Amino acid sequence: MEMLNPQYFIETFGCQMNVADSELVAGMLQKCGYSETRDMTQADIIFMNTCAIREKAEETVHHRLDSIQHLKKRKPEMIFGVLGCMAQNLKNDLLESKPYVDVILGPDSYRRIPEIINNRKKQNGHEVDTRLSKYEVYDNLMPSRQEGVNAFVSISRGCDKFCTFCIVPFTRGRERSRSNDSIIGEVKDAVNNGFAEITLLGQNVNSYRTEEGKFPHLLEAVAMVPGVKRIRYMSPHPQDMDDHLLQVMSEHENICNYVHLPLQAGADRILQRMNRTYSKTEFLNLVDTIRKYIPNCSISTDIIVGFPGETNADYEETLEVMNKVVFDRAFMFKYSSRPGTKAAEYTDQVDEDIKQERLARLIDLQQTHTLEANQRHIGKVLKVMVEKESKKSPLQWSGRTEGNMGVIFDKNEEQIKDIVNILIQDAQGVSMFGNRVLEKEMIHEIN
Ligand code: SAH
Ligand code: SF4
Ligand code: F3S
C-alpha cells in the first residue's frame, strides 16, 4: 500500500560535512516523494546522521537513539536509520545493541537510499551498507539546503592525512575531489536559490586537486560566479597552505579574510607523534605569511590537550603559540582515544583530571584572546553581512564579519544578505556591537 504524504525527519550530529550530507539525503528523500517534518512522532523515516570524532560524540548518539526507540516500537513500519561516521565505525555494535535500528549507512552509501526505501516496502529486515568508495563524490545530486544566507558546498570527501588521533580517515575513507564543473554548477544553483555566502567544505579543502587545477584555481572560479557575495572554506591543513592560495584570497574582495588553521598542539614532539607534518616554527611562520598577504586576516584554530605523552612542558608550548598568534577563536578539545587509530595504542595516555585542568586553562586564555581580538576592532569599520534578526530585540540585526564573528546593530533600511559598514563600538564575550555607517558618512570619515 502506498503511503499518503510520507514524511522524513533527519537529525544531524558532528561537523559541517555532516550538515551538507544531511542536505544531500534530504534532497534524495524529497525526490522519492517524502516531505520534511519537524515532529519526529509523525515521521515515516527517521535518520540520525552521526559523528564518531570523540567518545562523547558517540555517547550523545547512543543516548539519543535509546531515547527515541519507542517511536519505532509504536510504528514498526517506520524506517529508523543511522547514517554517517558512527554508522561506519560501529556497525556491528549498533546491530547488536540496537535491534530497532533497521538501516545503517556509511557516508559513501547514500545513493542507495531510494533502493532501500523500495526494498523496505516489500519486506522488513536490516539494510546495512558501509562500503567506502574511492570515487563517490555525490556529483549531480541536488541537496535540499537549510534556510539561511550560507550554502555549504562539499568539494572533496575523505582524508588521507592519518593524524594519529583521528578516526575520520577510517570513517570517511580515501580523499577524492569533485570536478570543477559540478562544484561551480552547484554554486550557481545555490546563488539562484537565494544564498549569498558559499562555504566550501572538505576534511582538507586545500588539498583539493583535479586535472583542471588545485584548490586556489577552484576558489578563484567560485569567487567569479556572479552573485557570490562571500566565500569561506573549511578546513584547510597547514601543510597545504601555499602562496598561490593566499594570493587568490588577497585579490578577491568576496573571499573572506579568514582562515581556520588547526594547530592541534604547540610542541614539535607532540606534533610529530600526531603526524601533523609541520613544526611549531613552521606553523608560526605560516601565520606570519598569512598576515603578510592579508594584514587584517582573522585566524581561528582547533587544539587538542592531553594527547598521549603530552608533558606539562609540551602543553606550555601550546600556550606559547596561542600567546604569539592570538587566535580570534579556538575550538578546544580533550584528547579522546579512538579505537583503531594509532594514538589509541600509545601506552602513555594522560590522566583525565590533568586533561580537564589543561583544557580549562586553555579555554580561559582563549576567552581573553577572543575579547582582545574583538576589542581591537573598536573604533574601526567592519564589513558585516546581515544574517537575521537579533534574538534580543526585533529592532536589531545580527550579522557576521568576514572573520566569522557575530555583530549586533540597530536596524536601518538594510535587508538580510546585505553587506554593510558597521562602526564597532563595543565587544563582549564573543560578540561585537556597533552602528551602521552610511556611505556618505564613510567618505567624510576617510577625508
Ligand atoms: N579535517 C579537519 C578537522 C577534523 S575534526 C582538520 O584536519 O582540521 C575537528 C577537530 O576535532 C580536529 O581539528 C581536532 O582538533 C579534533 N579531534 C579530532 N580527533 C580528536 C580526538 N581523537 N580527540 C579529541 N579531539 C579530536
Ligand atoms: Fe583527521 Fe587529520 Fe584528516 Fe583532519 S587532517 S580529518 S584531523 S586525519
Ligand atoms: Fe564527526 Fe565524521 Fe565530521 S566523525 S566531525 S561527522 S567527519
Instruction: Please state whether 194 falls in left (phi above 0), alpha (psi between -120 and 50) or beta.
Output: left
Candidate of 53, 154, 241 to mutate for ligand 1, largest count of ligand atoms within 8 Å of Cβ: 53
Among the residues of 263-309, which ranges form H helices? Answer: 268-273, 280-293
Task: Say what the pLDDT of residue 447 is.
Answer: 39
83-87: average pLDDT = 95
Q: What is the pLDDT of residues 188-215, one digit of tens each?
A: 999 999 999 999 999 999 999 999 999 9
Task: Say what the pLDDT of residue 442 is.
Answer: 60
Is the CB of 203 within 6 Å of ligand 1? yes
Which residue type does 142 have? Answer: M
Tell which residue, 321, 335, 307, has the closest CA to residue 279.
321
Candidate of 10, 16, 18, 336 to mutate for ligand 3, largest count of ligand atoms within 8 Å of Cβ: 18
Task: Say what the pLDDT of residue 443 is.
Answer: 53
Here the contacts of 220-223 (C-beta below 8 Å, separation 24 or greater) are 220/248, 220/252, 221/180, 221/184, 222/183, 222/184, 222/187, 222/198, 223/248, 223/252, 223/254, 223/255
Pairwise CA distance, residues 216 & 247, whole Å: 9
Q: Are 156 and 235 in contact (CB under 8 A)?
A: no
Fold for 381-446, please state it. OB fold (Dihydrolipoamide Acetyltransferase, E2P) (2.40.50)
Architecture of domain 136-256: 2-Layer Sandwich (3.30)
Q: Are 60 and 68 in contact (CB under 8 A)?
A: no
Q: What is the pLDDT of residues 325-337, one digit of tens each?
A: 999 999 999 999 9
Pairwise CA distance, residues 140 & 258, whole Å: 29
Q: What is the pLDDT of residues 3-16, one digit of tens each?
A: 779 999 999 999 99
Pairwise CA distance, residues 232 & 153, whole Å: 10
Domain boundaries, the chain: 7-129, 136-256, 381-446
Q: Are 291 and 263 in contact (CB under 8 A)?
A: no
Is the CB of 331 within 6 Å of ligand 2? no
Q: What is the pLDDT of residues 226-281, one digit of tens each?
A: 999 999 999 999 999 999 999 999 999 999 999 999 999 999 999 999 999 999 99
Q: Ligand 2, closest atom to CA 203?
A: 6
Is the CB of 157 within 6 Å of ligand 1? no
Task: Say what the pLDDT of residue 2 is.
Answer: 57
Task: Say what the pLDDT of residue 423 is.
Answer: 97
Q: Please enumerate in sequence order all residues whose Cβ is within 8 A of that of 95, keeping only pairs 6 or more positions apart, or say none.
A: 101, 104, 126, 128
Fold for 7-129, please state it. Rossmann fold (3.40.50)
418-443: average pLDDT = 89
Grid cell for residue 151: 550554502
Asked whether the whole model's pTM tops 0.85, one would answer yes
Is the CB of 306 within 6 Å of ligand 1? no
